[in-house]
Amino acid sequence: MATTVVYPCSKINIGLHVLQKRDDGFHDIETLFVPHALSDVLEVTDAPEAAENVKLFLYGLPLPGPLMSNLCIRAYNLLSEHFHMTPVEIHLYKQIPAGTGLGGGSSDGAYCLQLLNRHFTLGLSQPELHSFALQLGSDVPFFIQQPPLSMCLASGRGDILEPFAMDLSQYRIELRFPPVSVSTAEAYSGVVPDNNRVSLRDLLLQPVDTWKYVIENDFEATIFKKYPQIEQYKQMLYQEGAVFASMTGSGSAVYGLFRI
């Protein structure tokens, strides 16, 4: 029985500007995606004959919602619309908490696309995988990169990616997990787009010591009002000596950069 194992990583966002609402219902944003080592474990095995097309087995941390809406299932179903694929079993061990803005679901979907591409020898190129990834979600394409992932400045829906060279080797990233979960839809419902500001690229070029004064995550304003404990976790990181702290993505996780 053929089997393949991969380790979908997480990400943090340094800065997140919501620029404008698009005609297609999405938002134009700019953000810096930075890969983080916290990872899930994903395995695909050939299913027994006469099995259903795809079955997901979930371990570790809980996931909200029906399993059939999981991005791993959706990745298989999406590819199976274009290729003949025999039944598989997907085993997902969750270590990246859901609803935290760390991109765990998107990463699982992206890694599953790549894993299935290899498992079935589909021969998909990186641009083709990117196209399939975007059909799963706006930030899924970031995780389609060939490992190891590199930090990228993201624009458009979050799908236009530009490698961004910045040395953070003198800093460690510490994560904190407030006991709440925030959905992306909930975060966007309260944000006010602003396309008249200094670009995030220019702000990132300033010394890291200044970031706390100039770099913002636009979701914080409304999310902190609804979930004040998230802001408390952020302030605790500063009290512990973080040079910069922020909520990542739409939350609820926060992180701090600490000098090594």
Query: Given 40, 108, 139, 159, which residue is catalytic?
Result: 139
* Beta carbons of 122 and 132 less than 8 angstroms apart: no
| CA distances from residue 129 to 1, 42, 72, 144, 176 in whole angstroms, order as listed | 25, 18, 14, 7, 32
Is 108 annotated as catalytic?
Answer: no
Identified catalytic residue from 11, 108, 218, 234: 11
Is 23 labeled as catalytic in the residue annotation?
no
Distances (CA, A) of 107 to 8, 140, 170, 199, 251: 5, 6, 26, 27, 16
The catalytic residues are: 11, 139
